[in-house]
Amino acid sequence: MDSPTVSVLIGAYNAAPWIGETLRSVFDQTYPHLEVVIVDDGSTDGTLAAIEAAASGTDRDVTILSQENRGACATRNRAFEASTGDLIQYLDADDLLHPQKIERQVRRLAQQPFGTVASGPWTRFQDEIPADLTAVPRESDWRDYEPATDWLVQSWGGDGTIPLFAWLIPRAIAEAAGPWVEGLLRNQDGEYMARILVETERIAFCEGAWGFYRTSGSGSVSARRGRAIAQSLADATERCERTLLGHKDSEAHRRAASGLWQMLLFEAYPTAPDLVRQAEARIEALGGMYRTPGVSRPLRPIRDYVGWKAAVRLQRLYNRVLR
């Protein structure tokens, strides 16, 4: 396929402060064969008007849809259903892409056999993208993988994170993986990418195909805690384990699934004791993989000598006092 069309799929909810900049980073892509599908998820802050204003100044192929608020997964499903591209680029409404991000990944995929997805480097930013990207520390998972599930083993073991926007996914693989699971409140991206990668033969890492993750406060789903959030994380973890072990039940894959349950263990303690017990039981059944959770430096001696549960309780109390 010489000139595949790339579908850039964006869901937006109350993203008026950022959506214009995000869309400019898409419209400024050097790759010419793009279609952009944007779904406003029932925003109440003028996001839809901001989308329409930004789109009015481009000659790109842009489809704007609007719906009642249904959440990120439903929004991505609707955008995918409305798209026609050969390759899929997901993008959150506040994140940004380097102008050559898509072109570099399309070129690399053109050199790869069928069954390859592309990844790329990324970094966080708050107000401005780092001026010198060569100074951004290189991560251990910025490399090729074959089989692709080796990335899941490394990442679930605590060594590697690649955000959703950093991937470029062939449509055939996305169709084989199936739709986003609507209703999940935590680790939606991880659950989805687990299904993508078990349908994938290899990952081709693309130098210079940068994406930029905006850190804009603590109101995101990933920053929220509580029983419903922990239960949703448990549901996602169950799905991830089933996906990976259903693909191949190996010692490495069981260790990786154990690592995910450990993340739930830290998240659920002490507010959801039943989920803590569930996580501990799955960790034991999978062969056990215990790490210590990250806590602030003053609490590390407590974690190391008294135990992680006491340190986590103190960390949560410390965080509430700071708020």
Q: Which residues contact 126 (CB under 8 A, 6 or more apart)?
A: 214, 215, 216
Tokens of 114: 């069928």
Please give the average per-residue pLDDT across 121-150, as a whole number: 96
Single-letter amino acid code for the residue at 268: A
> How far apart, in whole angstroms, are the C-alpha atoms of residue 137 and residue 303?
28
Tally of CA atoms within 13 A in the half-sphere of 67 that contains its CB: 17
* pTM for the whole structure: 0.91
List, for residues 304-314, the tens digit of each pLDDT value: 767 667 767 77
Amino acid 319: pLDDT: 66
Per-residue pLDDT at 202 exceeds 70: yes
Per-residue pLDDT at 270 exceeds 90: no
Q: Which residue, among 88, 114, 84, has the nearest Cα to 168 in the 3D structure?
A: 88
Q: Which of 20-24, 111-115, 292-296, 305-309 has the lowest mean pLDDT?
A: 292-296
Residues 136, 121 contacting (CB under 8 angstroms): yes
